[in-house]
């Protein structure tokens, strides 16, 4: 899978996309299908995608729950035959308020989905990938994981956490052909915005040099490329999709 002359196709990709029922995960799933991938969607609520022909299968999963992830992975493997790609996309923002107003429950909810959930999903797919010495793991981080977001400290902490996790895991897997990379988007037009206050949203937009929010399609394109056979010699990296906001 290191042939640089290959066209940008995902015909050999069998992918689990978490948080696939809407927003960025839905856009990623559609883009992968358009490029030829076999797509399995995981979500807390799969009802919006039950009849969506982009998906070969959908499973209701709580990615923060170990048993739920294990069961969903076993069922996905049975249905798809193999899983060579994971897009660990599901995430929650949590309440937008200062850290000193966060309850421990608020904090734990964000960390358990955005950080522990990524650990559980990646761990689930690694047995098969390690056996085959091939895999593509793409984790949805955020610019908040690089710069922090006032009003969403738990989210920033979890997203920093996944960036550190991706960098460590990528190196643990070397010299195999299993790559682990992260995507770090800026604020994007999805229902995640429903959890944020108008002031918070306006502040975030004012920080994007291109003067607009990201679209789910732009993240889907980057994710598809990072998961493709063409992205064969890059692992443990964070791919920026921030309209010029991030400087590193
Ligand atoms: N929208 C943004 O501005 C933005 C910016 C940077 C990064 N991100 C990241 O992109 C990812 C997707 O965000 P989005 O904007 O599409 O959000 P969204 O809220 O529109 O969709 C998230 C999906 O994840 C699912 N989900 C939530 N918790 C889950 C759980 N415990 N188990 C399984 N599924 C669960 C939801 O049901 C939903 O379908 C998240 O990781 C988010 O942090 C979003």
Task: Give domain limits for the chain.
Answer: 14-241
pLDDT over 60 (residue 1): no
Which pLDDT score, from 0 to 100, does residue 215 have?
94
For residue 5, how far is its CA from the centre of ligand 1 (angstroms)? 34
Which pLDDT score, from 0 to 100, does residue 176 have?
97
Q: What predicted TM-score, i.e. pTM, was given to this entire model? A: 0.95
Position in ligand 1 atom list of the atom nearest CA 143: 6
Position in ligand 1 atom list of the atom nearest CA 141: 7
Position in ligand 1 atom list of the atom nearest CA 117: 31
Looking at residues 112-141, what average pLDDT do you find?
A: 98
Answer whether the bond into residue 175 is a cis peptide, omega within 30°.
yes
The residues that are catalytic are 155
Q: Determine if ligand 1 sits within 6 Å of the CB of residue 163.
A: no
- Ligand 1 pocket test target in 90, 122, 217 with most atoms within 8 Å of CB: 90
Q: Determine if ligand 1 sits within 6 Å of the CB of residue 241.
A: no
pLDDT band at 191 (very low <50, low <70, confident <90, very high): confident
pLDDT over 60 (residue 3): no
Contacts of 78 (CB under 8 A, 6+ apart): none
148 vs 191, which has greater pLDDT? 148
pLDDT band at 7 (very low <50, low <70, confident <90, very high): low
Contacts of 167 (CB under 8 A, 6+ apart): 236
pLDDT band at 69 (very low <50, low <70, confident <90, very high): very high
Which pLDDT score, from 0 to 100, does residue 4 have?
52
Which pLDDT score, from 0 to 100, does residue 145 have?
97
Q: What is the spatial distance between Cα 159 and Cα 182, in angstroms, rounded to a whole number?
A: 10
Tokens 């022909």 locate to: 53
* pLDDT tens digits, one per residue of 161-185: 999 999 999 999 999 999 999 999 9
Which pLDDT score, from 0 to 100, does residue 198 have?
86
CATH 1.10.3720.10 assigned to domain 14-241? The reply is no
pLDDT over 60 (residue 40): yes
Average pLDDT value for the chain: 94
Q: Determine if ligand 1 sits within 6 Å of the CB of residue 240.
A: no
- Cα dihedral sign, 193-240-154-137: positive
Q: Determine if ligand 1 sits within 6 Å of the CB of residue 109.
A: no
Which pLDDT score, from 0 to 100, does residue 5 have?
54
Q: What is the spatial distance between Cα 152 and Cα 226, in angstroms, rounded to a whole number?
A: 27
Name the residue with the closest Cα to ligand 1, atom 7: 142
Which pLDDT score, from 0 to 100, does residue 132 have?
97
Which pLDDT score, from 0 to 100, does residue 157 have?
98
Buried b or exposed e, range 120-143, using 16+ CB within 10 angstroms: bbbebbbebbeeeebbbbbbbbbb
Q: Determine if ligand 1 sits within 6 Å of the CB of residue 226.
A: no
């Amino acid at each position: 899978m290191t042939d640089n002359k290959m066209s940008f196709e995902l015909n050999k990709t069998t992918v689990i996309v978490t948080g696939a029922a809407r927003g960025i995960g839905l856009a990623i799933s559609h883009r992968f299908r358009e490029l030829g991938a076999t797509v399995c969607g995981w979500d807390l609520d799969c009802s919006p995608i039950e009849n969506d022909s982009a998906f070969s299968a959908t499973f209701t999963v709580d990615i923060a729950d170990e048993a739920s992830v294990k069961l969903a992975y076993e069922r996905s493997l049975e249905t798809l035959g193999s899983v060579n790609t994971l897009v660990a996309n599901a995430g929650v923002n949590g309440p937008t308020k200062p850290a000193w107003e966060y309850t421990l429950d608020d904090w734990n909810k964000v960390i358990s989905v955005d950080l522990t959930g990524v650990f559980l999903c990646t761990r689930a797919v690694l047995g098969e990938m390690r056996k085959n010495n091939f895999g593509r793991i793409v984790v949805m981080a955020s610019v908040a994981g690089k710069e922090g977001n006032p009003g969403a400290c738990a989210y920033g902490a979890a997203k920093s956490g996944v960036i550190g996790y991706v960098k460590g895991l990528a190196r643990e897997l070397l010299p195999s052909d299993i790559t682990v990379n992260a995507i770090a988007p800026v604020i994007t037009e999805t229902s995640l915005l429903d959890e944020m206050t108008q002031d918070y949203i306006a502040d975030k937009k004012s920080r994007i040099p291109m003067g607009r929010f990201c679209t789910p399609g732009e993240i889907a394109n980057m994710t598809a490329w990072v998961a493709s056979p063409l992205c064969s010699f890059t692992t443990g990296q964070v791919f920026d999709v921030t309209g010029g906001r991030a400087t590193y």
